[in-house]
Amino acid sequence: MNHTTPSRNIARLKAWAITATVLTSALVVVSTQGQAAPLPRIITESGRHALLVDDKPFLMLGAQVNNSTNYPDMLPLVWPTIHKLHANTVEVPVAWEQLEPTEGHFDFSFVDALVRQARENGVRVVLLWFGSFKNAGPTYTPEWVKGDTNRFPRMKTHDGRTHFVLSPHSRTTLDADKKAFVQLMQHLRDIDQQHTVIMVQPENEVGGGGIARDYSPEATRMFEGAVPTTLVDGLHLHPGTWSQVFGGRAEQAFNAWHTARYVDEIAEAGKRILNLPMYCNAALTNPFQPNGFGGGASGGPDWGVIDVWKVAAPHINLVAPDIYNRNHEAYITYLDDYTRADNPLMVPETGNARDFARFIWPVLGHGGIGFAPFGMDGTSYANFPLGAEKLDEQTLDAFAQPFAFFNPIAADWAREALAHPTWGVAKSEDNADQSMEMGRWKITAQFGLWQMKDRNDPRNKPNPTETQPIGGGVVAQLGPDEFLVAGEAIRLRFTSVENQNWQFLDVQEGTFVDGQWKMKRRWNGDQIDQGLNFIEPVLLKVRLQTYR
């Protein structure tokens, strides 16, 4: 079975639109001391993307802390894990309930502690705003919001009962949330001229938990009315009611539109203060089920309504999948769905169990700008079965290995991935070979092999990696016959697509120093006779040639 030639993947390797698009403007903040720190921003060139930090491409090797780690006393339990992991970014929540415990009175002490300690620890921050929505519920709203369902109305169920989730149709709730978020962004603008905080996630896994939409009489009236022109025009659809236009996914699309408009207004207000990249994360439904509400968080940027979100939320730079599904095919399908010319791929949350670590390779192969396992701190909470049973050394090591490898070359990788087509793989459950054609070359990934031997060698004995969920690799095509290659627990073979004779001209192991390639040694002989075998991560620059 070949997992790696879906048309969507091939499509991204083809020539993209030529015009370079800058998704956010290159504004520069000038600090009170007079130093200028360029705003982090996302750029898109030829359909590929990069996050720029300090005006340089930045690959986010992230780690998200547990939910209740958002208090100063918890921070000492964060940094040792971040360092062991070799992460360059920490994703941390700031909750509405802690920022505005009493209406109109704001407490920034946690934000101050976080930003200061992140600087001391040499990492960047992605701030997660737990506001009206956290996991499709209002649990992080202040008590004065939770307790006043007249002022801050909840959704209504089919039979008129009050549901748990706040209605996205409430102007009062939106304004109150926006006011708090704006305060947060103002504070950030004042204390963070150097942009330790590189991105902001307004809300968390938005949508209606366990409910397709609000069934209040007003919401139903809107649902029975026409789909807004902006949306039908934006999607090139014929006008009509939600059911006429969206059929089976009408309620989900309706809630997606209103929820995305809600979040977009909050993001827009925040960006007016401090124009950082902003993204929304998605609670994902089964990637193989037809579109439509089948449980989970209706209205969030789930894979089936990315198109609606793209039109509804122009101030959200990207929508991002939180991937807790360990199945290889499902994981890759999600990556395919969220990799678009109009949507940079970033995985802001993934399970922290050992078998998720290998997916960093296909994330990078999809041109991903960031990857972050969830639950990375020393508070000893474990979200099994979503992630690991325990964050022990072996589990941490699985992520630390690729992170330590990419950390010193993160800017170089991000730069090359912006400029060149990329392809990445992770081992699948059935250990099958995976392949991709890039120009004149076919690249085949194999797993669970000894370095010298082929799978069918009669003297073979199973390699220990054969049954383990480890192994992955990534390539960037620097030129027609030149590749940057990296991987771990993988063999990568090159062959000519046209079946011509071919040879390695030059295989260099090396690294980047000050943006320039620096060779450590040449691979030859055994190191290339059976393909390129990676045990621990290594960076190679490979030149190939066909001959008659």
Per rule CB under 6 A, is residue 350 in the interface with ligand DGJ? no
Residues 6+ apart with CB under 8 A from 184: 94, 99, 108, 111, 127, 129, 270
For ligand DGJ, the closer of residues 206 and 256 by Cβ is 206
Per rule CB under 6 A, is residue 264 in the interface with ligand DGJ? no
Per rule CB under 6 A, is residue 204 in the interface with ligand DGJ? yes
Handedness of CA 281, 284, 287, 293 (dihedral sign): negative
Among 100, 192, 203, 205, binds ligand DGJ (CB under 6 A): 205
Give the tokens for residue 130: 């737990």
Give the tokens for residue 150: 């007249």
For ligand DGJ, the closer of residues 188 and 386 by Cβ is 386
Per rule CB under 6 A, is residue 135 in the interface with ligand DGJ? yes
Pairing of strands 56-58, 48-53: antiparallel
Per rule CB under 6 A, is residue 136 in the interface with ligand DGJ? no
Residue type, 60: M
Residue type, 159: D
For residues 196 and 354, what is the distance between their CA atoms, to the nearest angstrom? 29
- Beta carbon of residue 324, minimum distance to ligand DGJ (angstroms, whole number): 7
- Beta carbon of residue 259, minimum distance to ligand DGJ (angstroms, whole number): 15
What strands, in cross-sheet order, belong to the sheet with 532-534?
434-438, 441-446, 490-496, 532-534
Give the tokens for residue 114: 């976080």
E strands, 291-411, are 297-298, 318-323, 346-350, 370-373
- Beta carbon of residue 113, minimum distance to ligand DGJ (angstroms, whole number): 20
For residues 115 and 93, what is the distance between their CA atoms, to the nearest angstrom? 12
For ligand DGJ, the closer of residues 67 and 167 by Cβ is 67
Pairing of strands 60-64, 41-45: unpaired
- Beta carbon of residue 204, minimum distance to ligand DGJ (angstroms, whole number): 5
For ligand DGJ, the closer of residues 91 and 177 by Cβ is 91
Among 67, 401, 422, 428, binds ligand DGJ (CB under 6 A): 67
SS3 assignment for 49-108: EEEEECCEEECEEEEECCCCCCCHHHHHHCHHHHHHHCCCEEEEEEEHHHHCCECCECCC
For ligand DGJ, the closer of residues 166 and 386 by Cβ is 386
Residue sitting closest to ligand DGJ (CB): 383
- Beta carbon of residue 521, minimum distance to ligand DGJ (angstroms, whole number): 43
Binding mask 358-377 vs ligand DGJ (x if CB under 6 A, - otherwise)?
Answer: ----------------x---
- Beta carbon of residue 256, minimum distance to ligand DGJ (angstroms, whole number): 17
For ligand DGJ, the closer of residues 53 and 63 by Cβ is 63
- Beta carbon of residue 67, minimum distance to ligand DGJ (angstroms, whole number): 5
Per rule CB under 6 A, is residue 97 in the interface with ligand DGJ? no
- Beta carbon of residue 318, minimum distance to ligand DGJ (angstroms, whole number): 16
- Beta carbon of residue 300, minimum distance to ligand DGJ (angstroms, whole number): 10
Interface size with ligand DGJ, residues (CB under 6 A): 10
Per rule CB under 6 A, is residue 325 in the interface with ligand DGJ? no
Give the tokens for residue 295: 């449980």
Per rule CB under 6 A, is residue 139 in the interface with ligand DGJ? no
Cα separations in angstroms, 153 against 146, 368, 412: 10, 38, 49
For ligand DGJ, the closer of residues 83 and 381 by Cβ is 381
- Beta carbon of residue 268, minimum distance to ligand DGJ (angstroms, whole number): 22
Residue 269 contacts residue 216 (beta carbons within 8 Å): no
Residue owning tokens 């009050």: 162
Residue 528 contacts residue 508 (beta carbons within 8 Å): no
- Beta carbon of residue 134, minimum distance to ligand DGJ (angstroms, whole number): 7
Give the number of C-alpha atoms closer than 13 A to the C-alpha of residue 501, restricted to the C-beta side: 2
Per rule CB under 6 A, is residue 546 in the interface with ligand DGJ? no
Angle separating helix axes 250-273 and 217-224, nearest 10 degrees = 100
For the chain, give the longest Cα–Cα distance: 80
Residues 6+ apart with CB under 8 A from 322: 205, 281, 282, 283, 284, 347, 348, 349, 350, 374
Query: Exposure of 443 by Cβ count < 10 A (0-12 exposed, 13-18 middle, 19+ buried)?
Result: buried
- 209 to 238, contacts with ligand DGJ by CB under 6 A? none
For ligand DGJ, the closer of residues 322 and 337 by Cβ is 322
- 273 to 292, contacts with ligand DGJ by CB under 6 A? 281
CA dihedral 207, 208, 210, 216 (to 10 degrees): -160
Among 118, 386, 410, 418, binds ligand DGJ (CB under 6 A): 386
Residue owning tokens 């305060």: 183
- Beta carbon of residue 503, minimum distance to ligand DGJ (angstroms, whole number): 49
- Beta carbon of residue 60, minimum distance to ligand DGJ (angstroms, whole number): 17
For ligand DGJ, the closer of residues 24 and 69 by Cβ is 69
For ligand DGJ, the closer of residues 204 and 446 by Cβ is 204
Among 46, 379, 383, 546, binds ligand DGJ (CB under 6 A): 383
Per rule CB under 6 A, is residue 63 in the interface with ligand DGJ? no
Binding residues (CB under 6 A) for ligand DGJ: these are: 67, 135, 204-205, 281, 322, 349, 374, 383, 386
